[in-house]
Amino acid sequence: MSKRRSPYNVILISVDAVAKPDAKSFLELPAFKYFTGRGTFTDNVNTIYPTITYPIHSTAITGRYPDRHNIAHNEPWQPDVNDRMRVWHWDIKDIGVKTLWHAAAEKKLRTASLLWPVSGKARGIIKWDFPEVLPLPGENPVIKMMKYASRIWLARTELMYNKERVSLKRCDLDDYMALLCEKLIGSANYPDLLTVHFADTDDTRHNEGVGTEADKAAILRMDKRVMRLIEAVKKRGIEDRTVFVIMSDHGQQNVPKGYITLDKQLCEANMGRAQSIGLGAYIYATDTDRAVKYLEENKEELHIKYILKNEDLRKLHAPKDIKLAVQAEEGYGYVDRNCDCDHLGDHGFGLEVPEAKTLLWLVGGPFKKGVTIPGAEMVDIAPTIAEVMGLSMPDCDGRVLREAYEEDNKLTNN
Ligand SMILES: [Zn+2]
């Protein structure tokens, strides 16, 4: 075996769209029960505002809030483009600060990333990269992927395994990612840092709602995929040097009352534009004071739970360009002009709801076994992983979760 430069290899698994209200049922699932018995757990991680996937994953991988990493949304703002035709933040360059992958590459460690948001075109940073990139209507998915992924590795995996990928539906894509994880973990040069994002649960909850039979089936599929990774580590004989970090990004809430056409109404009132974040919206006002007055006067009709003004957003470490925002009353969401939204479940809620408390397991290596810690911040994940791997991630907004360390493994110098 080649010489390893990191004390532990880390497998960071993101389980999309589950949160505190799901904790009880997750702790009963075989893979998650396995982690809970062998590691440190909390169902009380404060996620970040906005509670949407790309900003949260960018925070998890950088240890910085959105006011520093600059990912405000899954998509750059494209107010007059239909949502099916919009480009997303697929390029790693969109993140304005250092990521764990950069820190690992600096130490010449081997990194792999599968379907992680904002990780495309990471040549020289991520060795084996299959980023989350969505083909737009009319685009060939493989050609699109060739632009963003690790090309030679992608070509090789396509030749060897593409028959195993049943379709491009998220549940099948996630199964394919589990297969690629097994192959990477099983190889002689297994990655020092492997990040993988499973989003079958997010997709299912958006389309079918939370608590449905389809939702329950998606959660069971998720457990099976994670179990495949545990088995791959055992089979490779690297249990002792492998640390699993399992995180979630946000929960979902059902949207029984439907979507309000806030953007259209603001346009018609000549107040500016709105950009939906699901259960909330950013407001790009032509005149902020006038827009605030309008929103306050029409609070009931627009089903606004509360307004976030500039000073509120700065306290939340919201993306710098966002100066005004709203959250919808429970059961409602917001939709952009020229777009449809028929989601039964959604996120983008404020940080006060239980679905904004997310799940975290730290398993193996220096971490305590069978222990629950009171809570953590989403910004703590990157510095904690950096510490475990001996990487340099200075100037993070978060801290190392030392309370999760066994006493013997606690460093004395800070
Ligand atoms: Zn998500």
What's the pTM?
0.97
Does residue 414 lie in a domain region?
A: no
311 C-alpha to ligand 1 centroid (Å): 26
Alpha carbon of 136 to ligand 1 centroid (Å) = 20
The CA 17 to ligand 1 mean position distance, Å, reads 5
CA 199 to ligand 1 center in whole angstroms = 7
Alpha-carbon distance of 215 to 171, in angstroms, equals: 12
**Residue 97 — pLDDT band, cuts 50, 70, 90?**
very high
Residues with Cβ within 8 Å of residue 64, at least 6 apart in sequence = 58, 97, 379, 382, 396, 397
pLDDT, residue 287, reads: 96
Provide the domain limits for residue 205: 9-254+352-404
Distance from the alpha carbon of residue 202 to the mean position of ligand 1, in angstroms: 6
Distance 124 CA to ligand 1 centre (A): 27
Query: DSSP string covering 87-109, please?
Result: ----BGGGS-S--HHHHHHHTT-
Evaluate whether residue 409 is within a structural domain.
Answer: no
Is the pLDDT higher at 5 or at 358? 358
The string of pLDDT tens digits covering residues 230-272 is: 999 999 999 999 999 999 999 999 999 999 999 999 999 999 9
Query: Do 371 and 358 fall into the same domain?
Result: yes
pLDDT of residue 247: 98
334 in any annotated domain: yes
Between the CA of 289 and the centroid of ligand 1 the distance, in Å, is 33
Ligand 1 mean position, distance from CA 356 (Å): 11
Residue 207 Cα to ligand 1 middle (Å): 14
- Residue 386 pLDDT > 60, yes or no? yes
Phi and psi (nearest 5°) for 355?
A: -70, -10
Claim to verify: residue 212 and residue 232 sit in the same structural domain: yes
Same domain, 232 and 95: yes
End-to-end Cα distance, the chain: 33
Q: Tell me, yes or no, whether 52 and 193 share the same domain.
A: yes
The total of other beta-carbon atoms located within 10 Å of residue 82's CB is: 13
CATH of the domain at 295: 3.30.1360
Are residues 87 and 164 both part of a single domain? Answer: yes
CATH number of the domain enclosing 361: 3.40.720.10
The residue from 322, 342, 362 where one domain ends is 342
Cα of 198 vs centre of ligand 1, distance in Å, is 9
Q: Are residues 392 and 317 in the same domain?
A: no
Specify the residue for token string 């996120």.
347
What separation in Å is there between the alpha carbon of 200 and the centre of ligand 1?
10
User: How far is the centre of ligand 1, averaged over its atoms, from the C-alpha of 286 (Å)?
Assistant: 31
In a domain, 28, yes or no: yes
Determine the Cα–Cα distance for residues 303 and 234; give it in Å rounded to an integer: 52
In the chain, pLDDT over 90 holds for what percent of residues?
Answer: 92
pLDDT reported for residue 413: 40
Q: In the predicted model, what is the mean pLDDT of the chain?
A: 95
User: Does a structural domain hold residue 394?
Assistant: yes
Please tell me the distance between residue 298's alpha carbon and the centre of ligand 1 in angstroms. 30
* Domain final position from 342, 360, 379: 342
> Is 50 exceeded by the pLDDT of residue 105?
yes
Q: Quick check: is 25 in a domain?
A: yes
Q: Do residues 61 and 200 share a domain?
A: yes
Domain end among 323, 342, 361: 342
Structure tokens at 168: 């491009």
Q: Is residue 94 part of a domain?
A: yes
Total domain count for the chain?
A: 2
- CA–CA dist 149, 152 (Å, integer): 9
Q: Report the distance separating Cα 74 and Cα 309, nearest Å.
A: 22
User: Would you state the pLDDT for residue 412?
Assistant: 44
Alpha carbon of 36 to ligand 1 centroid (Å): 22
222 plus 276 within the same structural domain: no
Asked whether residue 143 falls in the same domain as residue 193, the answer is yes
Residue-wise pLDDT for 268-303, tens only, equals 999 999 999 999 999 999 999 999 999 999 999 999
CA of 358 to the centre of ligand 1 (A): 11
124 & 162 share domain: yes
Dist CA 340 CA 331 (whole Å): 17
Whether residue 2 is contained in a domain is answered as: no
Altogether, the residues listed in the chain come to a count of 414
Round to whole Å and give the CA distance between 203 and 377: 25
Residue 1, pLDDT above cutoff 60: no
143 and 47 both lie in a single domain = yes
Matching residue, tokens 């919808």: 328
265 & 320 share domain:
yes
Q: Is the pLDDT of residue 207 over 50?
A: yes
